[in-house]
Chains A and B, each alone.
Chain A
Amino acid sequence: MVTERRWKKWVFFYIPLTLFIIGTLFPFYWMFITAIRPDAELYRSWRAEQNAPFWTLHPTLAHFQDLMAKTTFPTWLWNTFFIAVASTGISLFCGLLAGYALARLRFPMAGTLGTSIFVTYLVPPTLLFIPLADIIRNFQLGNTPWALILTYPTFLIPFCTWLLMGYFKTIPKELEECARIDGASRFGAMVRIIFPIAVPGILSAGIFAFTLSWNEFIYALVFLSSPERKTVPVGVVSELIRGDIYFWGQLMAGALLGSVPVALVYSFFVEYYVTGLTGSVKG
């Protein structure tokens, strides 16, 4: 072990790390404290004698109650969840099959196909949203969840395919060969032998895809128009602001509630999430 003096450890380790933690987490604290602070305390001039800027003297749940009772927020939550689950499901299905084919089967153009799927991952949604909006209109999908369920996989499939392909490559070929010798078909060996082993990889890809769908903004903004069809990010932007007036208490309550599901999923599967993240980068 490399040893060091005590003061050095403070200067080079404890202090910087503490600053990183504060900087990273303060906005979340501010979100929370704003959400439970009554309006009378929120809107005070910054030069006024504030008795408690960083906490609140009269915590209230009024903003949450307003959000749940007076706005369409619960519907947005449900929409976001449904769209995220459906598009993740489709992407995992396509990614599993495609990833297996690219990792295991020999066929002409395999390299080219793999590369082009990878390249589509690098095509940002902001490059395509205008023509896509036109296409969605022509397909009569405008303002339906299907507009998003079918377009989200465009940035999820490449990721899932790439990640699972890498995962399949780590599984020894002998397993399939044994199954084939025992009379299993190619397809049977894939479904019965390889997919069950790949469950950790599938979980990683799934969780990651779920958070990406939950996060998506521009397609949801452009393809959906009526308030009851919107997802959380779009609903918060378009419905909780009236002209120039921001309902900060409600906005922060909404931001908090909208983040809870992804944060929960993430906290249960931190390891898988990190694997997905780093696996996608290693390629």
Chain B
Amino acid sequence: MKNPIAGGAGGAAGVEVALPHPRTSKVQARTLLENERLLAALLLAPAVLLLGTFIAYPFVMGVWLSLSSTTVGTAGTFVGLKNFGKVWNDSIFREAFWNTGFYTFWATVFKLTLGMWLAVLLNRHFRGKRLVRASMLLPFIVPTVLSTFAWRWMFDPTFSVLNWSLYKLGFITTKLPFLSDGAWGLWCAIVVNTWRGMPFFAITLLAGLQTINPDLHEAASLDGANGWKRFWHVTWPLLKPVTLVVVVFSVIQTFSDFQLIYVLTGGGPANSTHLIATYAYQIGVATGLLGEGAAISLTMLPVLFIVVWLQLRYLRRLENA
């Protein structure tokens, strides 16, 4: 690249002045682009247009659908809150709602604790550190659907490698019903979700850990603080902001999860492991009751709203600090 600053004298302005008859249209276009507001509007237009068309518009449409009796192939009429009432009295939906909370809570707890632990381990110096760090992110990189299939195969009722290993090691005498029992199935999903999401926590927290000055630990250990104490009094307070942001992202992702359950249990056995999203798919797409499906999806909104609101409030606080 040519150095822009040194090339000043022969720059665009010089050429511009030397032209006998500058083309008016070109000049007009340039002066328009010099206008800060107009340029900003132009630069933001593509992003706003796309987000408006495919997020804001569908959102409004989703609210309308949820208040109508639309099904695939028939335009519906306005029915008010009938869909929501029906959904609320649906025992499968209630279970799905409860499952979603349970799944989100436990998966987030495990991801945070294990991710933090792993981040602290990876923050130390050892041979092959770079390779280990890079390979630890793999579960996060590989498409969820594909890695979940590997887990499904590991949980397979007949050929489960996990059952086989536990049996050979003498821990169990009969097969564990990994995916053939509702409660087991949900816990299996939590395990897979933790496995997939933990690297994200670990790597982000590791980035946070690396900004902490080691002298602080040095000083604390001179004062006689052991490992635990150093973590709680030195590391944790400094990591809190990053942790909060990661947790918010993760809660949203986990709460609205679809693909993991879709592949692992398909909501079964007997609809016992549905999440809100998988149930919305079953009713709205597989059954074709668009209005009801949209209503089920929208029940996620209050939770997401609270989480986003907390996040924004926190960001504001940071900016004002």
Q: Which residues of A contact B (CB under 8 A)?
A: 1-2, 12-13, 16-17, 20-21, 23-25, 27-28, 30-31, 34, 42-47, 50, 53, 90, 93-95, 97-98, 100-102, 105-108, 110, 113, 115, 117, 119-120, 122-135, 150-151, 153-154, 157-158, 161, 178-179, 181-188, 192-193, 196, 211, 214-215, 217-218, 221-222, 232-234, 236-237, 246, 248, 251-252, 254-255, 258-259, 262-263, 266-267, 270, 273-274, 277-278, 281-283
Contact = CB atoms under 8 A, between A and B. Distances in A.
Contact of A282 (B43, B217, B242, B256): B242
A119 B37 contact: no
A251 B4 contact: no
Given A236-B145, A277-B204, A105 B304 contact: no
Given A183-B14, A277-B203, A115 B312 contact: yes
Nearest to A95: B47
A255 B304 contact: no
Contact of A233 (B59, B145, B242, B253): B145
B204 to A, nearest CB: 5
B283 to A, nearest CB: 9
B294 interface: yes
Given A153-B50, A274-B207, A119 B308 contact: yes
B169 interface: no
B270 to A, nearest CB: 16
B141 A262 contact: yes
Contacts of B158: 43, 45-46
Given A16-B117, A27-B154, A128-B59, A134 B65 contact: yes
B161 interface: yes
Interface string B286-318: 000010011001101100100110011001000
Contacts, number: 307
B246 A281 contact: yes
Interface in B255-297: 255-259, 262-263, 276-277, 280-281, 284-285, 290, 293-294, 297
B308 A193 contact: no
Question: Range of interface residues on chain B?
Answer: 35 or more
B57 interface: yes
Interface stretch (B84-92, B130-138, B181-189): B130-138
Contacts of B137: 266, 270, 273-274
A183 to B, nearest CB: 3
B5 A53 contact: no
6 contacts: A105-B40, A122-B248, A182-B8, A182-B12, A184-B12, A251-B149
Contacts of B146: 232-233, 236, 254-255, 258-259
A150 B54 CA distance: 8
A179 B135 contact: no
A171 B172 CA distance: 60
Contact of A252 (B30, B65, B150): B150
B58 interface: yes
B207 to A, nearest CB: 4
B177 interface: no
Chain A contact residues: helix, strand, loop or mixed: helix
B257 to A, nearest CB: 8
Interface in B1-28: 1, 4-5, 7-8, 11-14, 16
B143 A262 contact: yes
Contact of B5 (A179, A188, A281): A179
B153 A25 contact: no
B113 interface: no
B277 A123 contact: no
Contacts of A21: 132, 135-136
A198 to B, nearest CB: 13
Contacts of A100: 43
Nearest to B65: A131
A154 B163 contact: no
A222 B147 CA distance: 21
Contacts of A106: 36
B77 interface: no
B232 interface: no
Contacts of A105: 36-37, 39-40, 43
